[in-house]
Amino acid sequence: MNEQIDNSSPLSLSQALELIKTREGENFSKEKVNLAELQRLTGITRGKLRRLRRTVLQLQFYS
């Protein structure tokens, strides 16, 4: 895919996940997404992304 990403404006988390999902195709897993790549795309620190991933996975477990 020939995608142009403007590095001056970070993507939202959902946009970044969609971009990674299209790149990886069937191999995509939200639990195993590369946090360093998400950090580069969104500007959110890896620590915050780890905390968010734990929280979301716990919420999915309880629902």
In angstroms, the CA 11 to CA 24 distance is 18
Phi, psi (rounded to 5 degrees) for 28: -70, 135
Q: What is the pLDDT of residues 2-56, one digit of tens each?
A: 455 555 678 898 899 999 999 999 988 888 889 999 999 999 999 999 999 888 8
Mark out the alpha helices in the chain (DSSP H runs): 13-24, 35-42, 46-62
Q: Is the dihedral of CA 16, 23, 30, 41 positive or negative?
A: negative
Look at residue 5 in the predicted model and tell me its pLDDT.
Answer: 57
Evaluate whether 57 touches 31 at the Cβ level (below 8 Å). yes
pTM for the predicted model, two decimal places: 0.72
